[in-house]
């Protein structure tokens, strides 16, 4: 039985001219085979649908019940029957939407049992079923992850829990999910530290919790090697929510943490747009930081609401915001194992099952247009030329001497005094650059 019977054919590219009917399911910009920057659009963007918000969330919020039409989430349905119905609907959606990837948490795909053994058996069964569907549909796994934040046992964190039994329980879940991700040929494995943080410092030893978290990451990296999984390990930074403070606050914090515990090169970052804005940065900043420091991995595409301060996980719809970040990604060589995962949820009133299509189509068209803009900015070269000119002095003799450690502070001071240095400030040309970006955005087709 189909869950989306009104969509007979996979959604296809209709072109920008197709503006007639807002309800028609078609891509206006995303044209998977169109070459951009030497690769088809689908390979540049590597889009993925997430299982959790789309299939495992009933549309509830802290004040109200679920509003969505998701029969497998109804009370009283046998949990394994429900998991199968959900998986059928999910794979039907992936193929009808025409995206190459999906992502999931262990508990999204299979129900937790009453023991770890039972949970493992449930997941193993569902993973084999997913493997068969992946074979027939060609849909691939961008990443897998373990949910170490919903169950009450994780209220005080998983790796950073004051109780080592909780740490060991989390280890069992991650081991199993890492192996499941490997079994499904996953391209990455994500660790989001949902409750790796604190509610109050009154009861918290921050130093000890950091050591525990680093130890957990070491164990995960060792296990990855021992099973021969060659995907990328990713940490997803987020500053707070659900806890008051989270240790993987932003890309720079994660970078410092990895450096301190000698884990650079083992872990990269999965940057979520709405987490970037929650941390007080732009998404552009987070991406640029990660690329400049060699820790960029993947992206959770979504957006927040500028008027409120939580993770609203809305579908991306701003080319202005995304094109600058995509520009940095392209300039850095593009994705390797990463991609754009839609970690996005519908608004609670979007209760028609076909709203899932509208959300993803709009998000993917926004990414596609941002990719075209980014490629145009790269080809035009104005932004890179402006940066080159601005730093030109550092390519000169004095700049080289400072950076190659052949001068002391006293040498430089003597030299500055002797030459009576009086450097002339130059314009940063911000408005001119902003205008240039807008011109590219407005003219890109
Ligand atoms: C929550 C996170 C979560 C991760 C996966 O804010 O974005 O959805 O992506 O655990
Ligand atoms: Ni996320
Ligand atoms: Ni999030």
12's tokens: 């296809």
Domain identity same for 285 and 329: yes
Nearest Cα neighbor of 141 from 275, 232, 32, 265 is 232
> Which sign does the torsion angle of CA 348, 351, 357, 358 carry?
negative
Torsion of CA 199, 202, 208, 209, to 10 degrees: 0
> Using CA atoms, how far apart are residues 330 and 44, in angstroms rounded to an integer?
9
Question: Distances from the Cα of 229 to the Cαs of 182, 258, 266, 371, in angstroms?
Answer: 6, 20, 12, 30
Same structural domain for residues 304 and 214? yes
Write down the pTM of the prediction.
0.97
Domain check: are 388 and 328 in the same one? no
Percent of the chain residues past pLDDT 90, beyond the cut? 97
For residue 220, the model assigns a pLDDT of 99
Domain termination site, one of 380, 402, 419 = 380
Please report where in the chains the tokens 């074979």 appear, as a residue: 135
DSSP state of 444: -
Same domain, 356 and 395: no
Confirm whether 106 is domain-assigned.
yes
**Where are the strands (E) in 225-295, listed by range?**
232-235, 245-246, 267-272
Same domain, 365 and 431: no
Q: Does residue 400 share a domain with residue 275?
A: no
How large is the average pLDDT for residues 316-324? 97
* Ligand 1 lined by 92 (C-beta under 6 Å): no
For residue 150, pLDDT over 70 is answered with yes
What are 107-120's pLDDT values in tens digits?
999 999 999 999 99
**Residue 30 falls inside a structural domain:** no
Residue 265 lies in a domain: yes
102 & 139 share domain: yes
> Domain with 336 in it: what CATH number?
3.20.20.150
Q: How many domains in the chain? A: 2
In angstroms, rounded to a whole number, what is the distance separating the alpha carbons of residues 281 and 273? 10
* Residue burial 260-289, b: 16+ Cβ < 10 Å; e: rest: ebebeebbbbbbbbbbbbbbebebbbbbbb
Q: Tokens 């910009």: give the residue.
A: 29
pLDDT of residue 20: 65
pLDDT in tens, 20-58: 677 789 999 999 999 999 999 999 999 999 999 999 999
Nearest one of 7, 39, 16 to 375, comparing CA atoms? 39
pLDDT category at 413 given cuts 50, 70, 90 is very high
- The residue-averaged pLDDT of 58-85 equals 97
Q: Is 300 in the pocket of ligand 1 (CB under 6 A)?
A: yes
Question: Is 29 a domain residue?
Answer: no
Q: What's the token pair of residue 83?
A: 């998991």
Q: Please tell me if the CB atom of residue 343 comes closer than 6 angstroms to any atom of ligand 1.
A: yes
407: helix, coil or strand?
A: coil
- Give the per-residue pLDDT at 198: 98
Catalytic residue among 105, 255, 284, 360: 105
Do strands 39-40 and 35-36 pair parallel, antiparallel, or not at all (unpaired)?
antiparallel
- Answer whether 272 contacts ligand 1 (Cβ < 6 A): yes
**Strand segments (E) across 114-247:** 140-145, 188-191, 197-198, 232-235, 245-246
- Burial label, 246 (beta-carbon count in 10 A; 0-12, 13-18, 19+): buried
Question: Is a pLDDT exceeding 70 seen at residue 19?
Answer: no
Q: Which of 106, 108, 250, 313 is catalytic?
A: 108
Mean pLDDT score, 159-183:
98
Minimal-distance CA residue to ligand 1 atom 8: 343
Distances (CA, A) of 360 to 105, 129, 212, 354: 20, 25, 38, 10
Pocket test for ligand 1, best of 343, 344, 345 (most atoms within 8 A of CB): 343
Mean pLDDT lowest for which of 20-29, 140-149, 229-238, 319-328? Answer: 20-29
* Domain end call among 380, 399, 415: 380
Domain that holds residue 80: 35-380
Flag whether 19 is in a domain. Answer: no
108 is annotated as an active-site residue: yes
- Shared domain for 278 and 424, answered yes or no, is no
Do 119 and 214 fall within a single domain?
Answer: yes
Q: Encode pLDDT of 227-247 as tens digits.
A: 999 999 999 999 999 999 999
Looking at the structure, do residues 159 and 242 belong to the same domain, yes or no?
yes
**What mean pLDDT comes out for the span 317-342?**
98
Could you tell me if 350 and 408 lie in one domain? no
Whether 317 is covered by a domain: the verdict is: yes
Residue 390: what pLDDT? 98
Q: What does the pLDDT read at residue 421? A: 97
Residues sharing a CB contact under 8 Å with residue 163, sequence separation 6 or more, in sequence order: 156
User: Integer distance in angstroms from the first to the last C-alpha of the chain?
Assistant: 40
pLDDT for 202? 98
Does some domain include residue 273? yes
Q: pLDDT tens digits, residue range 357-409?
A: 999 999 999 999 999 999 999 999 999 999 999 999 999 999 999 999 999 99
Residue 45 lies in a domain: yes
Q: Which atom of ligand 1 is nearest to the CA of 194?
A: 1
* Average pLDDT for the chain: 97
Which one, of 32, 39, 99, 51, lies nearest residue 329 by Cα?
A: 39
């Amino acid at each position: 039985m189909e869950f989306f019977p009104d969509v007979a054919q996979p959604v296809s590219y209709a072109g920008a001219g197709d503006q007639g009917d807002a309800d028609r399911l078609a891509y206006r910009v995303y044209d998977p085979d169109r070459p951009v920057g030497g690769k088809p659009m689908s390979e540049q963007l590597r889009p993925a649908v997430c299982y959790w918000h789309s299939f495992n969330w009933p549309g509830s919020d802290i004040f109200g019940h679920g509003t969505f039409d998701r029969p497998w989430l109804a009370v009283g349905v046998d949990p394994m029957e429900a998991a199968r119905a959900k998986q059928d609907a999910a794979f039907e959606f992936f193929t009808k939407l025409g995206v190459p990837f999906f992502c999931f948490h262990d508990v999204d795909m299979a129900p937790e049992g009453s023991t770890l053994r039972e949970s493992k058996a449930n997941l193993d069964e569902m993973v084999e079923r997913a493997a068969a569907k992946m074979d027939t549909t060609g849909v691939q796994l961008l990443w897998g992850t373990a949910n170490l934040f919903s169950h009450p046992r994780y209220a005080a964190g998983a790796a950073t829990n004051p109780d080592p039994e909780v740490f060991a329980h989390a280890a069992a879940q991650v081991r199993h999910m890492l192996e499941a991700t490997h079994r499904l040929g996953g391209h990455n494995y994500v660790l989001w530290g949902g409750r790796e943080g604190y509610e109050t410092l009154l009861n918290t030893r921050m130093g000890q919790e950091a050591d525990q978290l680093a130890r957990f990451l070491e164990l995960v990296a060792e296990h990855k090697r021992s099973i021969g999984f060659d995907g990328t390990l990713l940490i997803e930074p987020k500053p707070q929510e659900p806890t008051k403070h989270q240790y993987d606050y932003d890309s720079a914090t994660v970078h410092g943490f990895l450096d301190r515990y000698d884990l650079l090169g083992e872990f990269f970052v999965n940057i979520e747009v709405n987490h970037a804005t929650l941390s007080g940065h732009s998404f552009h900043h987070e991406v640029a930081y990660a690329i400049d420091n060699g820790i960029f991995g993947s992206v959770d595409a979504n957006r927040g609401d500028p008027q409120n301060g939580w993770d609203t996980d809305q579908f991306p719809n701003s080319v202005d915001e995304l094109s600058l970040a995509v520009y940095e990604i392209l300039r850095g060589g593009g994705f390797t194992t990463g991609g754009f995962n839609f970690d996005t949820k519908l608004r609670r009133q979007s209760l028609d099952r076909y709203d899932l299509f509208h959300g993803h189509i709009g998000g993917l068209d926004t990414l596609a247009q941002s990719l075209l803009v980014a490629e145009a900015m790269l080809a035009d070269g104005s932004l890179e030329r402006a940066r080159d000119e601005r730093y030109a002095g550092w390519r000169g003799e004095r700049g080289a001497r400072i950076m190659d450690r052949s001068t002391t502070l006293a040498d430089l001071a003597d030299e500055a005094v002797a030459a009576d240095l009086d450097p002339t400030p130059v314009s940063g040309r911000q408005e001119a650059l902003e205008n240039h970006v807008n011109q590219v955005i407005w003219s890109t087709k």
